[in-house]
Amino acid sequence: MNIRCSVLFAIALLTNTAQATDVDHFKGKASPDLKSALCNLQEFDKHLKAATTGKKLSPEQMAKVHKLTYTLEVAVQRVQAELEIVAEELEHAHKGSEVMDNDKVKSGAAAYLARTKLLTSALNCD
């Protein structure tokens, strides 16, 4: 979005007296898997930090924050969904250990570790 469009959007956003559902919405950058979600968080967190520095945010900064939050929301939702799966896989390994089921423990642990690897290691977003 060029600066003119940003300014126009910011003015429209700030002067709009209609309900929030009438505000222009953007489509966030996709986060089809955990790695892309974490990379989007890494990248867009930097943009959010830059856009929110200073005491009073300009209309342009407000517009930028509004747009950035769409991608961040998509990424957070993906991470939440992935963590639900992580919890299920860990529970699978846990339950298997209670009944001494070697296959259940190994499969649950492998699935859990494959998903948490991205959370516990250095993230390469290139």
Given a cut of 80, whether residue 47 has pLDDT beyond it is: yes
pLDDT value for 24: 60
Q: What pTM was computed for the model?
A: 0.74
pLDDT value for 23: 52
What's the token pair of residue 14? 């700030």
pLDDT for 61-116, tens place per residue?
A: 999 999 999 999 999 999 999 999 999 999 999 999 999 999 999 999 999 999 99
d(CA 17, CA 19): 7
What's the token pair of residue 36? 């892309």
Query: Is the pLDDT higher at 4 or at 55?
Result: 55
Q: How confident is the model at residue 59 (pLDDT cuts 50, 70, 90)?
A: very high
- 17-55 in b/e burial notation, b at 16+ Cβ within 10 A? eeeeeeeeeeebbebeebbbbbbbbebbeeebeebeeee
CA dihedral 32, 5, 46, 115 (to 10 degrees): -10
pLDDT for 12-37, tens place per residue?
A: 444 443 344 445 678 889 999 999 99
**C-alpha pair distances (Å), 55 with each of 40, 50, 58, 61, 69:** 26, 12, 10, 12, 20
* H-run or E-run covering 2: none
DSSP 5-59: HHHHHHHHHHH--S-GGGS---PPPP--SHHHHHHHHHHHHHHHHHHT-SSS--H
pLDDT value for 2: 44
